[in-house]
Structure 1
């Protein structure tokens, strides 16, 4: 009976939550596309595990993953607060973050401490939001990171904290060019977080698949295709 149940768990489909985060993950009317979508597809294919991708806001994806069996969410920054709540597969992304100011109001920064008295826009549930909040910066969050460009242009925030590749894509999409960041201040490793009850065999298969993707050059190739680097 136990063997039978184990085989059923192994064969069960995994729901993978991700969120609109150009160019890493993007949902259109008919397709899912982006760097993360390509990584998910390759990783689950190599692990021989059935899956489906569902787009949800990051905060909701994290909550659903914590509560539900056979569910994962990515890309997530591993923090002390989150570490024990999930089973992890990673890293899937290496991200660099900068602080952007509006074209009309440049704010030269030498260190991150210079931004202490300023309002900083990020998006809900993001690791960089938690990072800045933990050091008592004045963080304002939105559900959609693209809204921060508009808030910056309307002087509703002083700075926008954003992942560099994503920031460039969002600027092109919104047709608002902010130029180079005033400061590049943080690098993080982002991973896939899975419900703690995820079958051990499935978890190991996904970890092995991701490791093989680094070893045979797939990860370097797919990152370069999207203008990122390892």
Structure 2
């Protein structure tokens, strides 16, 4: 082999070795998630599950992402969201999914994604006469939202006073029963949750925002790990893996 080629090959091998050395040996990420169908789900809608018992679009994508990146992990579904958020924010080597990537959260985490969309909508009963052209008009109605969720936070910043539920699926039954006039939720999550509660016939009266959902990692997670996970996700999307997962659930 010519000397120049040999030197180039050695240099490439050293570069690859150095890149992999940046990931600590036996490194592991502790992943947290919540019941947020169809992205993350526990059997029978329970608020606790671990490992392969957690299903959903995001759970399937994240598992494959970590497998391809060669990064070890644990996966736990718990409740409530606010506690999970605080744990991922404050505890090294933790991650949380799926989370809307918002400007006010940008500097608090390292991000891998997007994993999927989350359209923000106001749903009403099918027989409702409510018609809205802006979110401000919703102030005249009782709006239900999910406590601690980005949608609820957005409503509060816009001057609304939503009725907050500890689980978003509670809003589906409240809307069906007439206890609230409108339900501020995500799409497709809201439609999926309503079906789980055996509730149908809702209609969208306003679409007011769109967010992208990500895996949020604690700031102490090494950049090399974040890069490997993002590379794996990009490859999965290019190969059609992400689309195939969505089609299985939707």
TM-score by length of 2: 0.82
SS at the partner of 1:116?
helix
What is the aligned partner in structure 2 of residue 96 from structure 1? Answer: 119
Is the 2:88–2:218 Cα contact (8 Å) retained in structure 1? yes
Is the 1:171–1:178 Cα contact (8 Å) retained in structure 2? no
- What's the C-alpha RMSD, in Å, of the aligned pairs? 2.1
State whether structure 2 residue 238 is matched by structure 1 residue 206.
no
Which residues of 2 match residues 142-161 of structure 1 at below 5 A? Answer: 142-161=165-184
- Compared CA separation, residues 66 and 119, structure 1 to 2 (3 A): same
Count of matched residue pairs: 223
Deviates further, 180-189 or 97-106: 97-106
TM-score by length of 1: 0.88
Q: In structure 1, which of residues 205, 208, 216 is the aligned counterpart of residue 239 of structure 2? A: 216
* C-alpha displacement of 1:42: 1.0
Q: How far apart in 1 are the matches of 2:210 and 2:23?
A: 40
SS at the partner of 1:209?
helix
Gaps of 5+ in 2: 1-17
Determine which structure has the larger helix proportion and give its number: 2
1:194-228, CA deviations, whole angstroms, 9 ceiling, x for partnerless residues?
1100012111111111111222222222223222x
SS at the partner of 2:164?
strand
Rg comparison, structure with higher value: 2
* C-alpha displacement of 1:124: 2.0
* C-alpha displacement of 1:8: 7.7
What is the aligned partner in structure 1 of residue 101 from structure 2? Answer: 78
Q: In structure 2, which of residues 188, 192, 201 is the aligned counterpart of residue 178 of structure 1? A: 201
Gaps of 5+ in 1: none
Q: How far apart in 2 are the matches of 1:43 and 1:74?
A: 13
